[in-house]
Structures are given as structure tokens and as C-alpha cells.
Amino acid sequence: MATLPNPLPGLASDPSGRSLGLQLPPGRLIDATDEGPWHEPLLWHAQRSAAPGNWTALGARSARAGLLPVLVDLGGSQGGPEEWELAPGEMSYPGDHDAEDVLVEFWEECAADGEEWPGLAGGLTLASDPDVRAAQVADALAGEGGSLFAAPHLALVPARRSADVPAALGWTGPANHENDTARLCAVLRSWEDRFGIRVVGLGFDVLVLSVAAPPATSAEAAAVAAEHFAFCPDNVLQGEGDPASYAERLIGEHAWSFWWD
């Protein structure tokens, strides 16, 4: 995977991040992978659980330092990121893949025989600023009683764009569907462009996105739902089960979550 300068090693001697223009709370650097310690930290995460407002307070400044925010769940049954079997060495580069090619391949593996790929959904109108929407969804995840995560903690990952965060980490949550998470990140890049998504949360096998341009009609939702089915069949097959019902749930929805069995 293509790399960029990683500011995280400097936090070992400058834990507050002052040299990067940051004021970080106490936190941890994580370098654990499925094959032992990585040659540099893959992420930093705060020791305290996230609270509403944390994302906004840190996000813009950290991005200027080359670090993008994401909430990570330290309270799942598989533990935190140091126990997630991260595999950065197995990731390619998201920019080397075409989003539609990836989705077509998944569609052909998962769709019913004879069901043709409907094509990519058209881009939708932004209902809000994508970064503002990301902060709102992050606050909802961090708020009491509103979280998909047992213990969300704010983390920082060296990445060029939010869609690349899972691959930059070497996240293997979708391993039963796709081993090279960068291919899924190529789809996330396309969703950034068409739907204003941001990667807001990661659990062991859960991905949460904010959505600034959600579908507003049944037709728009059906087109997006087809992409979701290819991207993460478990969302439909082990959720609503009925693609039409799943699509209706997407109308006006400002957060998308995905789970791979």
C-alpha cells in the first residue's frame, strides 16, 4: 500500500502532540498486528472513552497534522484494536482499484442467478457538510445509550482521506467477504464522492459511516441498497432479509453501519 509520512512515532516522546499542533489527552500507540509488532504505530487512541464533542475538538487540527479521526470500540468481545489481527502488510492501495469493478465482482458472487448488476447509483445532493455530519454521527456513537459500540474511544490514523482509514490500519473486519480491505476502501472513496460519507467508527467486524447525501426517494434508496448488498451481503441477508425493506430504511438515513459475519 502507498504510504505517507506517519506522525505517530513522534507521540512516543511528545504524547500531547504539541509539536503537531495538538493537545491530546492521555492515550496509547498501537502497533500490534497478526504477525507481531509493526515497524511503526498504526494508530493512537485515547485512554478515556469518547464523549460528545471530542471529535469536533480534535478532528480538524489532527487532519492538518496528517491524522484522521475514527472511533474504535475497545469493549467488544474481541477486545480493542491490539487484538483485532490487523494486517497492514496484506493491504494494497485503494487508488489501484475501480469501485464499480469491485462491486460487480461481489455482486456476481452474492446475487441470485441471472440477476444483473444494476450499475452504480448516481451521486446525490448534499444535505449537510460531510465533516459536520461526521461529527454529529460521532457524537451520537459516543453519547450514552446511543452507541453501537460498548466502549468507543477516539483514535487517530495516518491516512490521506477518511475512506482509506480501514486499509491504513490493516483492518480485517470484512475478512470473510474480502481479505484486501483496500478494495472495499475503493468503494468508500466512491461513496465519499457520491454520498459524502466519512468513516466514523470501527469495531472488530463493524464499520460505521456518516452520510451527508443520503437517498431521498425509494428509487434512490434501491440503487444505493444494491451497492450495499454487494459491499456487505450480511447487512441484507441477516438483517431485513428483503432488499426492498432494507432500501426503505436508507431513505434520509445519516449513518450507515455494516457488519460482516
| 47-85 per-residue burial string, b: 16 or more CB within 10 A, e: under 16 | eebbebebbbebbebbbebbbbbbbbbbebeeebbbebb
**For the chain, what is the mean pLDDT?**
94
Closest CA to 127 of 218, 212, 217: 212
Q: What's the CA angle centered on 201, arms 244 and 110, to 5 degrees? A: 35
> For the purposes of burial, counting CB atoms within 10 Å of the CB of 105, is it exposed (0-12), middle (13-18) or buried (19 or more)?
middle
pLDDT of residue 76: 86
Cα separation, 50 vs 170, in Å, equals 22
Provide the whole-model pTM: 0.95
Cell numbers 490521506: residue: 160
Cα separation, 250 vs 256, in Å, equals 8
SS3 171: coil
Q: Are strands 67-73 and 36-37 parallel, antiparallel or unpaired?
A: unpaired
Quick one: pLDDT band at residue 146, thresholds 50, 70, 90? low
SS3 63: helix
Quick one: pLDDT band at residue 5, thresholds 50, 70, 90? confident
Cα separation, 211 vs 255, in Å, equals 5
Lowest mean pLDDT segment, chosen from 16-25, 106-115, 126-135, 237-246: 237-246
Cα separation, 198 vs 164, in Å, equals 10
Secondary structure letter of residue 168 according to DSSP:
H
Cα separation, 63 vs 260, in Å, equals 29
pLDDT of residue 147: 65
244 pLDDT above the threshold of 70: yes
143 vs 133, higher pLDDT = 133
Cα separation, 115 vs 103, in Å, equals 14
| 150-159 per-residue burial string, b: 16 or more CB within 10 A, e: under 16 | eebbbbbbbb
